[in-house]
Amino acid sequence: GQNIDQPTEMTATEGAIVQINCTYQTSGFNGLFWYQQHAGEAPTFLSYNVLDGLEEKGRFSSFLSRSKGYSYLLLKELQMKDSASYLCAVRGLYAGNNRKLIWGLGTSLAVNP
Amino acid sequence: EAQVTQNPRYLITVTGKKLTVTCSQNMNHEYMSWYRQDPGLGLRQIYYSMNVEVTDKGDVPEGYKVSRKEKRNFPLILESPSPNQTSLYFCASRLAGGNTGELFFGEGSRLTVL
């Protein structure tokens, strides 16, 4: 079967660093995405990894290890506005016309003062 | 401004009363999709469209219909809504090819079926 696992909830302190992990088992791999979703709002794209290694984008970085089926999102210098749900999504094998995304349930991050 | 626009944003309706949620994008994206999001179940794909007049079922298509007569519009139709269709709905679009395949989401439509 196809599965994505993320922790349900995490808590961190303003100014700190937090790492949100994502492990996946999918029939094929064609890229991994991280999206941020504030409560009641639309998901917004954060990062994309298709090769092993670290992708850095300002305060946010995302790491991928394809052999381990593992990714993490690293958030540095946490701000209160980073309180949100973080969704991990994996694009599986090219199936017909749909490069299907398999979504994790999201990690709800609470940043405390 | 590049965006995906959904309407209505909020709707309370009754069982059996047909409704349509509209979705429009101004980015000339070929691919469009509808998701529903429920607590504990995450985002689940309802229908998707690779281009005009090309639509296909996602993971949870029962009780829904879609059409893609124009590239920019992808309405979601609930012919006879039931309470189990109470949910938060998102329309999303992306380029069919593209480097990352990043999805752009609409702001969401919160539907309650009584």
Q: What is the pLDDT of residues B60-88, one digit of tens each?
A: 999 999 999 999 999 999 999 999 999 99
User: Are A41 and B107 within 8 A, CB to CB?
Assistant: yes
For A50, nearest residue in chain B (alpha carbons): B100
Mean pLDDT by 10 residues, chain A (113 residues): 92 98 90 96 95 95 97 98 97 68 96 96
Residue among B43, B102, B107 whose CB faces A103 most closely: B43
In this prediction, residue B100 carries a pLDDT of 72
- Is the CB of residue A87 less than 8 Å from the CB of residue A35? yes
Which residue type sits at A77?
E
Distance, CA of B54 to CA of A82 (rounded, Å): 38
Binary contact (A42, B102; C-beta < 8 A): no
What pLDDT score was predicted for residue A92?
Answer: 80
Reported in sequence order, the residue ranges of A15-52 that DSSP labels E, i.e. its strands, are 18-25, 32-37, 44-49
The residues pairing with B19 across neighbouring beta strands, listed in sequence order, are: B78
Quick one: pLDDT at residue A98?
A: 61
**Option in B102, B103, B108 nearest A41 (CB):** B108
| CB contacts, 8 Å: A96 with chain B | 56
For Cα atoms A64, A70, A76, give the angle at the middle one, nearest 5 degrees: 60
Rounded CA-CA distance A74/B27 in Å is 30
Q: Residue B45 has what pLDDT?
A: 95
Task: Write out residues 35-94 of A within 8 Å (CB-CB) of B.
Answer: 35, 40-45, 48, 87, 91
Give pLDDT, residue B98.
63
Determine the residue of chain B that is closest to A41 in CA distance.
B107
Sign of CA dihedral B92, A42, B4, B84: positive
Q: Are A59 and A76 in contact (CB under 8 A)?
A: yes
Residue-level pLDDT at A94: 63
Q: Which of A31, A42, A106 sits opposite B42 (nearest CB)?
A: A106
Owner of token pair 């609930």: B78
| Chain center to CA of B82 | 17
Please report the pLDDT score of residue A46 as a whole number: 96
d(CA B13, CA B78): 11
CA distances from A65 to A21, A22, A26, B34, B105 (A): 12, 11, 14, 30, 27
Task: Assign 3-state DSSP to chain B and report helix, strand, coil percentages, each to 5.
Answer: 5, 50, 45
